[in-house]
């Protein structure tokens, strides 16, 4: 299957700082990328959907000014957690698709810890 | 709105035995896709099996098969000859035809007893 690489795998940052997570489709062009948040022992919660070259669509309740998503190319999307706080600590997962009804491929996830 | 419900938070099975994980969903649409994903301890999401709603035949992938009951909006996963490597969280998910996003169930943690 296609490969989606997420970087970093884990990151620790101080409260008030910003952290950027990258999601790359290595061997295919991703027209759409998705960002999820997963709390311990819970399901994946969709945060936003991003299409290359356009603004991301955020799910209800997700602060778009706090979770900045950029999908500047067909192989790269970034999630920036701005002014991070301990409550932002979580596991963040991205996925990518080549088209509307195609399979979604997932990155390996990023564990963010804000101290 | 789409909803996916997994009513079994945890399941366990003896190695080499068969286990069935339950999933029900709710949608008013007639065209959609259903999926089972596996999330092992590495946290990497892996697609196990996919079913198109317009197909009556149940999907199978080696030891994994589904029982798709469209009228009942049920989509269970059967794992035959369970192996230790099958231990993981399993998520049921749905996606409407023409839509982009997946809607996930709450997940079922599967333990394999040696």
Q: How far is A85 from chain B (nearest CA, A)?
A: 23
Residue B86 phi/psi, 5-degree rounding, is: -80, -10
* Chain B residues close to A93, C-beta within 8 Å: 43, 45
In this prediction, what percent of chain A has a pLDDT beyond 90? 79
What is the pLDDT, as a whole number, of residue A103? 84
Q: Would the pLDDT of A41 be above 90?
A: no
A43 vs B97: CB contact, 8 Å cut-off? no
Q: Give the residue from B41, B45, B52, B111 with the most A CB atoms within 10 Å of its CB, the best one to mutate.
A: B45
CA quadruple B100, B64, A42, A35: dihedral sign: negative
Q: Would the pLDDT of B4 be above 90?
A: yes
Mean pLDDT of chain A: 93
Q: Which of A31-40, B32-41, B92-101 has the weakest average pLDDT?
A: B92-101
Q: Would the pLDDT of B16 be above 80?
A: yes
What confidence tier does A98 reach under pLDDT thresholds 50, 70, 90?
confident
How far is Cα A86 from Cα A94, in angstroms, rounded to an integer?
21
- Collapsing DSSP to helix, strand or coil, A57 comes out as strand
A108 vs B42: CB contact, 8 Å cut-off? yes
What is the pLDDT, as a whole number, of residue B12? 98
Q: How many CA atoms lie within 13 A of B55 on its CB side?
A: 13
Q: Would the pLDDT of B54 be above 70?
A: yes
A1 vs B44: CB contact, 8 Å cut-off? no
Q: Are A106 and B44 in contact (CB under 8 A)?
A: yes
How far is Cα B34 from Cα A44, in angstroms, rounded to an integer?
16
Q: Would the pLDDT of B40 be above 70?
A: yes
How far is Cα A79 from Cα A102, in angstroms, rounded to an integer?
23
Phi-psi group of B30: left, alpha or beta (phi > 0 → left; psi -120 to 50 → alpha; rest → beta): alpha
Q: Would the pLDDT of A100 be above 80?
A: no
Q: Are A30 and A2 in contact (CB under 8 A)?
A: no
By C-alpha distance, the chain B residue nearest A95 is: B45
Q: Residue B44 is nearest to which of A38, A43, A106, comparing CB atoms?
A: A106
Q: Per the structure block, which two tokens stand in for A102?
A: 């195609």
Q: How far is B9 from chain A (nearest CA, A)?
A: 10
B44 vs A43: CB contact, 8 Å cut-off? no
B interface with A, Cβ–Cβ below 8 Å: 33, 42-47, 50, 91, 95, 97-102, 104-107, 109
Stretch B11-29: mean pLDDT: 97
What is the pLDDT, as a whole number, of residue A102? 77
Q: Are B3 and B32 in contact (CB under 8 A)?
A: no
Q: Are A61 and A48 in contact (CB under 8 A)?
A: no
> Over the stretch A4-28, which tens digit does the pLDDT of each residue have?
999 999 999 999 999 999 999 999 9
How far is Cα A57 from Cα A64, in angstroms, rounded to an integer?
9
> Over the stretch B64-87, which tens digit does the pLDDT of each residue have?
999 999 999 999 999 999 999 999
What is the pLDDT, as a whole number, of residue A54? 84
Q: Would the pLDDT of A101 be above 70?
A: no
Q: Per the structure block, which two tokens stand in for A101?
A: 């009804």
Stretch A105-115: mean pLDDT: 97
Question: Which has more pLDDT, A98 or B59?
Answer: B59
What confidence tier does B37 reach under pLDDT thresholds 50, 70, 90?
very high
How far is Cα B81 from Cα B74, in angstroms, rounded to an integer?
23
What is the pLDDT, as a whole number, of residue B97? 86
Q: How far is A109 from chain B (nearest CA, A)?
A: 7
What confidence tier does A68 reach under pLDDT thresholds 50, 70, 90?
very high
Residue the block writes with tokens 């198109």: B52
């Amino acid at each position: 299957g296609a490969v989606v690489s997420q970087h970093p795998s884990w990151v620790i940052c101080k409260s008030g700082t910003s952290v950027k997570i990258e999601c790359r489709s290595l061997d295919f062009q991703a027209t759409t990328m998705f960002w999820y948040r997963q709390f311990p022992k819970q399901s994946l919660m969709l945060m936003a959907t991003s299409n290359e070259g356009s603004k991301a669509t955020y799910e209800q309740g997700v602060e778009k000014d706090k979770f900045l998503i950029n999908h500047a190319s067909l192989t790269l999307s970034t999630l920036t957690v701005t002014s991070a706080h301990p409550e932002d600590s979580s596991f963040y997962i991205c996925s990518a698709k080549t088209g509307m009804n195609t399979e979604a491929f997932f990155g390996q996830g990023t564990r963010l810890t804000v101290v | 709105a789409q909803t996916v419900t997994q009513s079994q938070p945890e399941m366990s099975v003896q190695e080499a035995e068969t286990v069935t994980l339950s999933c029900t969903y709710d949608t008013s649409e007639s065209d959609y896709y259903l999926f089972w994903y596996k999330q092992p301890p590495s946290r990497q999401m892996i697609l196990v099996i996919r079913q198109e709603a317009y197909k009556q035949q149940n999907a199978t992938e080696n030891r994994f098969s589904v029982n798709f009951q469209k009228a009942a909006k049920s989509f269970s996963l059967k794992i035959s000859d369970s192996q230790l490597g099958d231990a993981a969280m399993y998520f049921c998910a749905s996606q409407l035809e023409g839509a982009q996003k997946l809607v996930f169930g709450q997940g079922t943690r599967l333990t394999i007893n040696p």
